[in-house]
Every structure is written in C-alpha cells, then in structure tokens.
Chain A
Amino acid sequence: MTTAFIILLLPLVAAASNLLLLRKKANFSAFVSTFSAAICLVLTFGLIRQDDLNNLGSFNWIKIADLKLDIGIELHGLGLGMILVVTLIGFLVHLFSLGYMREDAGKARYFSGLSLFMFSMTGIVFADNLAMMFIFWELVGVSSYLLIGHWYHKNTAAEAAKKAFLVNRIGDFGFMIGILLIWGSFGSVNFVEIEGSLRNGNGNYDKGLLNWSVFCIFCGAIGKSAQVPLHVWLPDAMEGPTPVSALIHAATMVAAGVFMLTKVLFLIEVAPTAASVIQYVGAITALIAALMATQQNDIKKILAYSTLSQLGYMIMAVGFAGLLSGGEVLGEKASNAGFFHLYTHAFFKALLFLGSGAIIYACHHEQNIWKMGGLIGRMKVTSFTFLIATAALAGIYPLSGFYSKDAIMTIAANKPLLLVIGSFVAFLTAFYMTRLCVVVFFGRARSWSSEEAKEVPLLMLVPLLVLTIGAIFAGQTFAYSWFVPSKDIPHPEGVVLPLILTAIAVAGIIAGFFLYRGRDQEPYPVQVLSRKFYLDEIYIILVRIFQDAVAWVAKQIDRLLIDGLLVRGVARLVTEIGSVLRGMQSGNLQGYAFLFGVGVILVLYIINAAIG
C-alpha cells in the first residue's frame, strides 16, 4: 500500500464508516471525515517531497483477454499541483463546514458525502488511464448529486441535484464514446501507452476519427466543467450547502474538465480541428457567463456564473494546445497556462464562496444581495478576505489572478478574436464583482437580516484566512515552481499586455463602483441577461419535445400497436377461427356420425390414392 493509495482510499473508508456505523453520532462522523481530510493533506505534502513518483501502485480491476483496466496511479507535475489543491481546499472546506453545518440534522450524511467526494476527486487526479478517470468522473457526479440534494425535502434542491446529474450524464455519454474510440484505435486506454503508440505511429487510427475522439472526450469536460451548452446545471447547483459550492462547484470538480484535458494533451496536439472547437467553446462560455453574471441578484449565483466564465478561460487556453504557432504546436505551454489559472482560481474562488457562505450564515440564510448592505462594518475579517479575493479575480497586481490571467492572455494572443473576447470578459469580471462588493459591503443595511449580521466564529474564519494567503501568493514562482517550472508557464513579453489588462480591470472596477454606489435596487435591469438568455426555458421545451413527447409516443405505440394490434390481434384471430370451427360442434349425435362417416371415407380415399 503506497502513500498515494492511502490518500485515495482513506476518504472512502471514512465515507463508508460514516454511512454504516456512525449515523446516530453526527458529531463523531464530522470529526472522522475532517480527520481523514487532514491526514490526506499531510500525506500529500509527503508525496510532494517524495523524489520517485514512479510505481505509485496499481490494482487490476478488470482483465479479459486484451482488455486490461487498472486502478493505477500516475502523477506528473500538474497532477501534483491538482492533488494539493484538492486536499488543501478540501481540508479547509471540512473545517469551515464544522461551523457552517453545526446544527444541520443531516450532518453525518453531509460529511459522508464530502468524504465520498474527496475519494472520487482524488481518483480523477491520480488516474493513469481513461477508464479509471471515467469511473471517478462518474463518482464525483454522484457525490455532487448527493451534496446538492442535501436538503432533499426542498423541491428546488431535489430538482437541481437531478438536473446536475442528468446534464453531466449527457457529457459523460460523449466522454465514454471518446474513450471507446481511443480504445478501438490504440487497443489501450493507458495515457502512457497511448502517447507511446502515437509517438511511434503504432495503432490503426486515422486523423478524422482522432479528431472525433478528442471532441467526444471534450464532451466530458463540457459536462463536468459546465461549458456552453451544458452549463445550465451549475447555477442551479447552488442549492447545495455553500461549503459544497466552494469545494465542488468552484475549486475542484468543475475544474476536473480542465485537468482531464491537460492529461490528454498529447491527443489535443494532434487534433487541430477538435482543438479549435475547444477554444471557441471556452471563449463563448467565458463571454456568455460573464454577461449573465452582471444581472444576477443571488450572491451565490453571481459567483457561479463567474466560475463558469473563468472555467471558459481555462478551457480556451487548453484548447490552444492544438494550435500551430511558428511551425510548432503550442502544446504544454497552453495547457500550463490553463492549469495555472485553475490553480490560482481554486484559491480565490473557494475563498469567495466560503466568504459568501460566511455572509449567508451571518445574514440568517439570506442570499439576495439587495437585502444585504453595509456589511463591511459588521464583518470586518470576512469583508477584508472577500475584497482581496475579488481583486485577485479581477486580476489586480500583484495578486495571484493577475499572473494567471496574463498567462492565458499571452496564449490567446495567438488568435486576435479570442484575445478581444478574453479582454472583454476581463472587463466584465471586474465589473460584476465590483457590483457585488459595492452592494453587499457598502451602503446601508437593506433588511433586518443584514442589520443583525455579526462576524462568524473562528472555526470559519481560519479557512478564510488560509485561503487569503493562497489567493495573494499562489501566483508567485515559489508557490508553483515545485510542480511546474516557471519557464514552462507562458509570460507576456514586455509590459504592454499586462498594462492593458490592468487598465481594463481598473476600468471595470471604476464602472461598477460608480454605477452601483448608493443604489438600493438594480438600476439597469436587462431582462435577457437576468433571464440567462432564456436558455433554461428553451431547454425545458426541448426536453418536452425530444424526451417526454417521444416517450409518450413510444408508450402509445407499445400500448396500441404492439399490445393492441399484435398481441390482441393474434388473440382475436385465434378466437375467430375457434368460433368458425365451433359451428361444427352441433351437439347432434347424427351430425357427428355423419362427419365420422365422411371422415372414414376421406381417409379410405386418401389411402387408396396413395397406394394406387
């Protein structure tokens, strides 16, 4: 049992024991989960210091003939960065939850779900083959389903959980096809082996099919990282407890799509068509989500759309891996830029969500920003951390977001259109975050709940402060160089691009500040944005047509045609024939005798004819 396997399995053990043994002792199960998360964090630091990252352990899951599916562990540089993000933020969220969920009736269930999530997410990071990644991919979907639906008695939560799972399943449908196409072409699903046969030119693949498989694999990322057109589940997922939103729907799980793309980088490099699809999907998501974020009123929804938009950035950057630039594909440079943003984003976005959790907790579960206000005086520490995170997200020097946004824009500069979109999104980001902060922290309290708000307990402040340190310093070389060398992350040449980007961000902040200062309600309502381009409504209609209507027709066919015409029809036919033959059963003795005689004569005649 290697260290890595312990990191993988410990949360599973915690989840199982919580579910089976400790349901009655909620506090103890919370302790078990948090403790397992702490141990995983410590072990991760051990893993980072470990020199030899080969042979981290492997377990044969399925073996039939040529098919060999393993649960094996492979960690290259980015994997180390990702596992640190997962265990560190995971642990902090456990800590925060101890306070946030203190009085919840389903506490044991909640912590089982968290542990299950830690297990599944670790599995995705560790996966050394596509099949294993898919397994844990599905499992994070389940834990997300369980946690979004934590307050299952609320109809909205139950619906949101279902929606998240189903939308993800659609993405997974594509992902699985991609995996199968790869398996068909290369006869293996192991990353190292596929890369090997791709480099050696083995395997019977053709270019077109490879593009399709990369596109299909990307569908998995579309679902999990909530890209357009499958982004609709993420805002609804905010029905879950806020710490869950911080961990799953901001920092880790939704970033899994980006991480997965960096793992199949070698495939994207040779599939330029699919790669440009990835870029555009990312860019469109970033744009649309940022636009929608400007008009939301629920504090968590704003952050959710902001997450969508940042994920779009990352996906777009990774998509550039397949772009030819100066006779060479951008490859690792692009994916490192995307991952770098994932890494810094995890800190400040988790911080924003936990901060909003603290605010919601303090405001008696009020989530509407127009009912808050003036919180900066009542919750000093929380406000301070929240503002730092906002600045990092807006990309203000020298916070972490500045560096990672620079890296992405350096890559995006290869396609002017995408650079323009990216810059506009940067402006919108600064704008809507400023709007949020101005409305929530400044001005006057707009309801009793925000008047009575007071600072949250220490247990919840500690994670905020730790994450603030991350949000400030994660962009510095010393904070990331241990998993990816500084030279491998693209930096803008000269100071022009950073200056322009900073100017854009400042412009966004100024615009947001002056437009929303002193307002008590939305001054410029834009229906189409606050209703999210009516996409939810359109999807509902599509589901009505393509699922419910088809299902209804199928049921009618089943009832009328197969059951009615075929089965009943056969039954009717048999009955009809029977009633014809029934006429011969007259009950008349002499009739029977007559028929008997005719029969005898007939038999005699036939025999005679046969002999003669």
Chain B
Amino acid sequence: MIIDLIVFIPVIAALAIGLGAEGRKTALGAAGANLILGLIVISELMRKGGEELIFETSTVILENPKLTLGFAVDGMSGVLLLLTVIVTFCAVYVSPEKAPDGKVKLYHIAPLLISAGALGAFCSTDLFFLFAFHELALIPTFLMIGLYGHGRDKLAVAWKITIYLGVGSLILLGGLIALYSNLTSAESATFNIADLTAIAETMQLDQEVQKWIFLPLFLGFGILVSLFPFHSWAAPAYASAPTSIAMLHAGVLKKFGLYGILRVAMPMLPKGFEAWEGLILVLLLGNIIYVGFVTISQKYLDRMLGNSSVMHMGYAFLGIACVNHIGWNGAVLMMFAHGISIALLFALCGSLRERLSTLELSEIGGLASKVPFLAVSFGFAAFASIGLPGFANFASEITILFGAFNGAGEVGNLQKAAILALWGVVISAVYMLRAYRNVFQGDSAQGLTLVRRDSLNKIPIILMIVVLLLTGFFPNLILSMLPS
C-alpha cells in the first residue's frame, strides 16, 4: 500500500496543480511526503535484508494473460526508489516559482510526472507496467526540453532525444515481446517479472534463442542509458534541459535502462549475455575511454557535465558484465551514487547559469571568492564525481573493480577491460579538475559579471552532499539491502 502511495502521490499532486493548486508548494509538499515515505520503506528493507519483495500489492487487470498493476520493492528497487525520492525532492526544490515565460502549471507538473513514472517503473512487479511507466516519464522530458530548454537549438535537441529514446524504446519493446512469447505458453501466460524469472530458470532457453533475444533487450535498454555509440543525445539534452529536468533525467530516469538489464535481461537470459560479452566490453570501454576523451575536449561546463554522466555509465555496465554479486551490487551502488552526484552537479551548474552570462569554460574564472558556497559544494560534487574516497562513487567504483577481478588468477578479457576502464579515473580527474580550476580558481576573468546575486537554495545541495558522504563512509547501508 505504501508503495502505491509513493507512486501516486506525485500523480495526484500533478492533477491538483493542473486544477489550480499553487505550483511549487504543492510539488514540494508531494516530494517531501514521498521522501519521508521512501525513508520508511528503506528502514523496513534494512530490517528485512532486501532479499525478497515486500509491501507487495496488486490489482488484477487481465486474468489470462496475467496482467496486474502491482508494486513491491526488494533491495535493488528500494535503492532506486530512495534515489528517486531524494532527487525529486531536490529537483523540485531548486526549480523556480515560475517558468521563464511566466507559466506555472506544466513547469511543476512535468517533474512530478517524471518522478511518478520512474517510481512506477522501478517498483512495478509486472513487465508490462515496467515498460509503460518509463514511457510515461519520457513524455514530459521531451516537452520540457522543447518548451523551456536553453540555447538556440533546443527544438532540435528535443527532437533528437525524442527520436533516440523512441527508437530505443521500440527496440526494447521488440525484445520484450520476443522474450515474453518465448517464455510463456497459452496456459501460463503471465507478465509477472518474478514468475517469468522462475520460468526462465527452469526452462533454460537455447543459447541461440537467448542470444538473439538478449541483443535487442540490451541495445534497447542501452540506448536509454546512452550506451556507446548511441550516446550523442545525452550531452546536448542535459545541457539544454531545464535544471530540474536534467537532474531528474540524468540522475534517475537514465538508471531505468541499467535497472532493466539487471532485473530482466541478466537473470532471464544469462547465456545471451555470454554470447555478447566481447561486444559489450568493447562498447562499455567506448563509454569510458572514448567518451572520456570527448569530455576532455568540451568547451562548455554544461556539455562537459552531460558527457561525464555518459562516461560514468560505462562503469555501471562494467559492474553488470562482472556477472557476480560483487559487480552487480557495485553497479547498483553506482546507479545510486552517480544519480545523486550528477543531480548535484546539474543543480550547481543551474545555479551558475542563473548567475553568469555564459558557461564557456575559458570565459569564466576565479569565482571561488565571489560565490564561496557554490565553490565549496562544487568541489564536493567534483570530487565525488571523480571517485574520491569518502563519497559513495568511490565505494561503487572500487566494488565494481573488485568484482571484475574476483577470483581471477589470470588476466582475461574482463580483467583487461577493467584495467582499461581504470584509466577512466585519470581521464575524469583531468576534465573535472580542469573545469574546477577554470571556473573557480585563478584570476577572475575580464568582463565577467554576476547576473544575479539573490540567495540560493542551500538545503537540497547540502542534502545531496550529506547523502553522498553518508553512503560513502558507510556503503554497507546500501549494500546490506542487496543480495550477496
């Protein structure tokens, strides 16, 4: 019941705003309520260990095939639920009272709908709704970029992300249908994920069949996570999106693809993964090394952050490719850590955008003495992002790497990929420190003016930093909820 509440509170709040309730306050209230409910769910999960589904509810929609609108959480869903409620709260908190054109309704409805869609997708017990909720969350993203995006080419960007993610979803849908039709028969038709997993385990599809179902599933989910070489939508979209949308999409919604791979593709099609392991390792190195270099050469802060988020997804894929619980738990921790840290970075970038006339790195400089709070928190966020101990990002990266080398007496393909991926920590340090040095340190650039100087929202920024530090010092808080 509590999960249903969490999923539908944002929807109800969105309806209320649509009917004329005050925009930001209502949204903030809903997000705050969700944050509290989310913490209750997490405390229950920690008590029970997160191995099995709890708070299960279901409403039967079709008897045969069995289609139910049902929600439940286990450890992995719980972690992502926590991520979603935290980021939603912060994203709603940092959005201004009114949209740039003075309108209120859509501006505050969209983040709530994205949040509801993400929550529904992460907590759904049913394959159909897992997909459907995610699609629901995408629509407001497109709208918000097109309507309230930054930059001259916002419409082109909105179209690009629409087409990319639309095609990704289509491929994914094809994969899901193939999976469903191969696993179920007329009598045992069901969309329930747990049932399907059980069927897949007993039935053991042929290697060849698994191989060709796995491919569209992986590509479909992968495109949604900006897997190389389908990544070029991400950076412009995040650079162009309004702050709250960039936070929600990069921080939360993008994790859906990884969640799907871990929830659906890997448990149901283990042999399918084996068949494509080499390709997947190459692609994830593309994410880390190639996109890493692309990130280095970015000239604008917002683009650089967008690319950096693409790059870090490579580590999550590496964790998945470990095919052991160490790597998988590391990947889940990575989703959480990266979600919070990238949301934090976009929030700070948004604050900078409000204050500066440009975000071109060579045009700004020496801001540390002018906006000390931003400088310190950006420092925290940058250090988190490049994986410094004390932050959850480091805990997740080290876990993934240890997962890749678990029991490896020799250096195989996975280990080689992990070693190359490790070079990514150098690359990320290069671009992050370069950006930090350009923006905050050194001389203050000539002719740079601070556009606005009103107080900024410190609470969400401090909240996110605290969460990163807490889970970085005590990663077992998260890891104890995951199976091992």
Contact = CB atoms under 8 A, between A and B. Distances in A.
B443 A155 contact: yes
Contacts of A172: 425
A548 B296 contact: yes
Interface stretch (A88-96, A201-209, A295-303, A473-481): A201-209
B198 interface: no
Contacts of B419: 177, 180
A100 interface: no
B368 interface: yes
B442 A152 contact: yes
Contacts of B476: 60-63
A546 to B, nearest CB: 10
B296 A139 contact: no
Interface string A131-155: 1001110110010000001001111
Given A558-B294, A567-B160, A547 B430 contact: yes
Nearest to A139: B389
B296 A63 contact: no
Interface string B321-349: 00011100110000000000000000000
A162 B437 contact: yes
Contacts of B426: 166, 169-170, 173
Given A61-B475, A62-B479, A170-B426, A149 B297 contact: no
Interface string B401-420: 11111111111000100110
Contacts of B415: 180, 184
A99 interface: no
Contact of A67 (B399, B429, B474): B399
Given A63-B479, A65-B326, A153-B441, A180 B409 contact: no
B337 to A, nearest CB: 13
A98 B444 CA distance: 29
Contacts of B178: none
B290 interface: yes
Interface in B434-484: 434, 437, 440-444, 474-476, 479-480, 482, 484
A365 interface: no
Contacts of B442: 152-155, 158
Nearest to B462: A20
Contacts of A415: none
A209 B329 contact: no
A204 B402 contact: no
B30 to A, nearest CB: 30
Given A60-B476, A66-B406, A183-B402, A177 B422 contact: yes
A142 B383 contact: yes
A249 B293 CA distance: 31
Interface stretch (A343-351, A497-505, A524-532, A549-557): A549-557
A453 interface: no
Question: Which residue among A153, A184, A571 has the maximum number of chain B CB atoms within 10 Å of its CB?
Answer: A184
Dominant SS among interface residues on chain B: helix
Interface in A527-582: 547-548, 550-555, 558, 562-563, 566-567, 571
Interface string A421-446: 00000000000000000000000000
Given A65-B326, A563-B232, A152 B297 contact: no
A62 B399 contact: yes
Given A169-B425, A209-B411, A153 B398 contact: no
Nearest to B368: A152
A401 to B, nearest CB: 35
Interface in A306-344: none
Interface string A400-413: 00000000000000
Nearest to A138: B389
Contacts of A185: 409
A607 interface: no
B297 A554 contact: yes
B366 interface: yes
B418 A180 contact: yes
Interface in A52-75: 60-67, 69
A176 interface: yes
Interface in B288-314: 290-291, 293-294, 296-298
B423 interface: yes
Contacts of A492: none
Interface residues of A, number: 58
Given A138-B388, A153-B366, A180-B401, A64 B429 contact: no
A554 B293 contact: yes
A599 B471 CA distance: 65
B390 interface: yes
A121 to B, nearest CB: 14
B477 to A, nearest CB: 11
Contacts of B402: 67, 69, 131, 180, 183
B393 to A, nearest CB: 12
B413 to A, nearest CB: 14
Contacts of B90: none
Given A177-B422, A184-B407, A552-B297, A142 B388 contact: yes
Contacts of B474: 61
B389 A135 contact: yes
A181 interface: yes
Contacts of A209: 409-411
A138 B388 CA distance: 7
Given A67-B399, A142-B383, A152-B440, A547 B418 contact: no
Interface string B227-248: 0010110000000000000000
A218 interface: no
B207 interface: no
Contacts of A571: 163
Contacts of A60: 476
B422 A555 contact: no
B405 A181 contact: yes
A177 B475 CA distance: 22
B405 A64 contact: no
19 contacts: A62-B398, A62-B479, A63-B476, A134-B398, A152-B441, A153-B443, A153-B444, A162-B433, A162-B434, A166-B429, A169-B429, A172-B425, A180-B415, A180-B418, A183-B406, A184-B415, A548-B296, A552-B297, A554-B291
Interface of A: 19, 60-67, 69, 131, 134-136, 138-139, 142, 149, 152-155, 158-159, 161-162, 165-166, 169-170, 172-173, 176-177, 180-181, 183-185, 187, 204-206, 209, 547-548, 550-555, 558, 562-563, 566-567, 571
Given A65-B325, A139-B390, A183-B405, 19 more contacts: A61-B475, A62-B479, A64-B330, A64-B399, A131-B398, A153-B444, A162-B437, A170-B426, A176-B401, A181-B405, A181-B411, A183-B406, A184-B410, A205-B409, A550-B293, A554-B293, A555-B297, A562-B229, A562-B231
* 3 closest cross-chain pairs (CB), A and B: A204-B409, A184-B408, A158-B441
